[in-house]
Amino acid sequence: MVSPSTKLYGLIGYPLGHSISFYIHNAAFRALSIDALYINIPIEPESFSKAILGIKYLPIYGLNVTIPHKERIIDFLDEISVISKLIGAVNTVYLEENKWKGENTDFGGFLETLKELKLDKDLPCLILGAGGAARAVVYAVIEYGFKEIYLTNRTYGRAERIAEEVKKNKNIEIKIIPWQERHKVDEKLILINTTSIGLDGKSTPWNGNFKSIAFVYDIIYNPKETPLLSLAKENNVPFKNGLDMLIYQACLSWNKWFGFIGPFEIMKREAEKLL
């Protein structure tokens, strides 16, 4: 029930048709009797600057940020966390002492799922993509303990920049592979997709063989089974989609908005109903 005292939260990105954040946050608000409403705020890239300046003057108390705005949002915030600075991307915005502050809960959300999966740290991992989500994933796999990391992206320079930053910040070498050569890695590895390829339910970022792949992690969660994950299933390779990462990062956002971790099970049940 929306009332005059209802506080607004929301998601900014573009497009937002695939997102279920609207449903999981509002379901949790209802379950915990929190007088708040979570809304979708689609912002096209060319309108981003004007839209953000306008949003800052609206009675909105917190935001999640998704593709393609996780990096651009930083320029419009008063402060960002240490991990956000390290990653160079923000996915959670909150108001504190009349300041707009930024946090990256993608990092914690992905790291939590790695701990649950108990993936072999001695295997190398190949990360597809070099956007805001990829940055969080790179630092999470480093924190988890992977010793060998490959990175590939359609725009080589973006991957190169991440590798340079990681070398500077963590003194860890990341090996860059040109996008067109990504299938040539023939050692046993873990494949992680952070690109948006597959959101359409038709395309896949990986057309190589699966003989050398030990595990496939696609951070896309809608569709529940992307073409990449369907290929993994056909080749009897264990896999995971991005739903738990989404739920964990959403729960961690609550810690900045309300001072406590959001209800994982409530959000997960709602998500599974939708998907």
Q: Could you tell me which residues are annotated as the binding site for NADP(+)?
A: 129-133, 153-158, 219, 242
Give the residue ranges of the annotated binding site for shikimate.
19-21, 66, 91, 106, 221, 249
Instruction: Please check whether residue 61 is in contact with residue 7, taking contact to mean a CB–CB distance below 8 angstroms.
Output: yes
Enumerate residues 6+ apart whose C-beta is below 8 A from 37.
2, 6, 7, 8, 9, 26, 29
Nearest to 153 by CA among 122, 132, 123, 124: 132
The tokens describing 148, both together, are 């060998």
Crossing angle for the helix pair 243-257 and 105-117, to the nearest 10 degrees: 130
Residue 118 is given by DSSP the state T
The tokens describing 218, both together, are 């696609």
Would you call the peptide bond into 238 cis, given omega within 30 degrees of 0 as the criterion? Answer: no
CA distance 112 to 119: 12
CA distance 228 to 108: 24
Backbone angles phi, psi at 155, to 5 degrees: -100, 105
Catalytic positions, written as ranges: 70
168: three-class secondary structure by DSSP? helix
Give the residue ranges of the annotated binding site.
19-21, 66, 91, 106, 129-133, 153-158, 219, 221, 242, 249
